[in-house]
A and B are shown apart, each in its own frame.
Chain A
Amino acid sequence: MYLTESIEDFIVDPTDTVYTAMQKIDRNKHRVVIVVSDNRVLGTVSDGDVRRAFLRNAIKITPVSSIMNINCITTLETDPETGRTILKKEMVTVLPVTDGENRLIGLHTAYEPEF
C-alpha cells in the first residue's frame, strides 16, 4: 500500500526519544518509524533497533538519532506494485519513498494498515 497522507505515526524527529519511537511503532502497527528532519530521511528505527539499543544500555530518553539505522532502504518508486516487490526483496515492512534529493514524499507498507 502506498501512503502519502496520515503518515505522522510513521515519522519521528532525530531529537525524539526512543520512548516516543516505541509509542509510534505501537500506534502505526508497522514495526518501524522513519527518522525525518527538514523533510529529509535520516534513517529508520525498527522494533529490532529498539531492542538492540536497550541491550546496549540505551534508556527511554536516548535520542533516536543515536540508535537509528542510517543505511535504511529507500526508493524513488511511487508505483505500489514496484513498491511491493522491493518490500518483499528487502524484507522490510515499510519503505520510505524519496525524491531525488532524499526528501520524504510517501511510503510503501507491506501490510494493510488496521486503522
Chain B
Amino acid sequence: MRCIGLITGSRGEYGYIRPILRLIEKDPDLDYRLVVTNMHLLPSFGLSVREIEEDGFAISDRIYMALDGYTPATMTKSLAGFLWSFVDVLSRLSPDILLLAGDRGEQLMAAIAAAHMNIPIAHIQAGEVSGHIDGQSRHAIARFSHIHFASNEDAAQRLIKSGEQGFRIHKTGAPQLDELVRGSYDPPELIEKEIGIDLASPMILMVQHPTSEEYDKSLEQIQETYNAILGFEYQTVIVFPNNDAYNETIRLWIEANKRPFIKIFRNLPRGRYLGLMNVADVLVGNSSSGLIEAPTFNLPVVNIGERQRGRAHGANVINVPAERERIREAIERALKPEFLTLVRESRHPYMGDGKVSERIVRVLKEIPIDDKLIKKGLTY
C-alpha cells in the first residue's frame, strides 16, 4: 500500500486535491494523510476546514500558522511557523510521496521539508506562470519536486526550459477542471436562493487579491476596481481575498463602502463559488480562476494588473491595468453579446476532460520510487 501525503491551506488548492482524494480513498492500493493548515483553520475566513470534514476526509493533522497583522513580515513568519511544525508532522506521517498543489507559501515550506527528509515530491499545477511571490514559490517548488503534473503544453515547456528532466513531467491537465466537466457545482436555482441574486439581471463577480510587489498600492487598486463596478449598479458579489498581506485593509474598506446591490462573502465552498461563476456575466479582479476555470463556463473576465501576468489564458480574458476608467470600459466590452460569442467560439487554454485526477492518481500509484526518481539532476 502506497501512502500519499497532502497539504491544504486554502480553498483554492483544496479544489485541485478533492477529486484526487476521492480516487485515493476508493483505491485499495493507496492511502492518504491530509494536513490542514492556514486559512482553513481561521474563523475569519469562514473556517473552511468544515467543508473538508463534511466531505468525509480524515484529517491527520491541523497546523495553526497564520499570525495576525497580514503584513509581508507576518506572512513570512507564519510560513516559518508552519515549517517548524510540519517537519514533525511529516516524520510522524512519513508518506511515500508528498503531493503538493499550486503555489502558496505553505506548499513551498512543505517542499523544503520533504526534500531535506528524502520524501519524493509530486507537484500539481507545476510550471505555470503567475506574476508575484506565489509564482516564484511555484517555480521554487519545481526545483524540489520529483514529479511534475503540468496542466498544458506551455507549463510543460517552461519546466523543460528551467532545467527539469523530461521524464519527471507528466502532462495530465488541470485537475480543478474535473469537477466542472462533471458539473459538480451548485445549480443556478440554488445560487439564486442561497446568495440572493436575480438570475434574470446582469451579475458581476469580483475577486481581487493584493499583489505582493505592490502591497502598498493594494488598497488603491481595489478602490479603482470597486469604483468602476459601482458605476454599473448591477448586482455584484464580492468574494474576499486570501489572507495575503493587507487583505484586512481591503476588507474593511469594502465593508465600510458597501452599497445595497453588493453582497460580500468571506469564503465560499468551492461548489458554490463555481456555481457563481456559472451564472455570473463577468468576473472582475485578478483570480487565477478567471484564466483556468472561467473558460469552461464561457465566462468573460476582466483581469486586472500584474498578478496573472504571463500565465496562459484564453479569449475570455481582457487584461487591463488597475485604472478605474480602463476597468469600466473593459467590463462594458465584456458584457456585450459579441464578446460572449467570441468567448464561446474560442479554445480552452487548459487541458481538462474530467479524467485529469485519474491520470495523476495513476502516476502516483505506479511510478517506481527508486534512485532515478529520488536523485534529482538538472539538465544544464
Contact = CB atoms under 8 A, between A and B. Distances in A.
Contact of A62 (B43, B256, B264, B266): B43
Interface residues of B, number: 15
B43 A74 contact: no
Contacts, number: 41
Given A70-B266, A71-B264, A37 B256 contact: yes
B258 interface: yes
Interface in A60-115: 62, 65-67, 70-71, 73-76, 101-102
Interface string B256-293: 11111001111000000000000000000000000000
B257 A70 contact: no
B44 A66 contact: yes
6 pairs of A and B residues whose beta carbons are closest in the complex: A40-B256, A66-B44, A42-B255, A70-B264, A71-B263, A102-B258
Is the interface on chain A under 10, 10 to 19, 20 to 34, or 35 or more residues? Answer: 20 to 34
Contacts of A102: 256-259
Interface of B: 43-44, 47, 196, 252, 255-260, 263-266
A58 interface: yes
Contacts of B255: 40, 42-43, 70
A75 B255 CA distance: 15
A37 B252 contact: yes
8 contacts: A53-B43, A57-B43, A74-B258, A75-B260, A76-B260, A102-B256, A102-B258, A102-B259
B191 to A, nearest CB: 14
A79 B357 CA distance: 58
B256 A58 contact: no
A66 to B, nearest CB: 4
A51 to B, nearest CB: 15
Contacts of B266: 70
Given A40-B256, A74-B260, A101-B257, 9 more contacts: A38-B256, A40-B255, A42-B252, A42-B255, A43-B255, A53-B43, A58-B43, A70-B266, A102-B258
Contacts of B259: 102
Nearest to A71: B263
Nearest to A100: B259
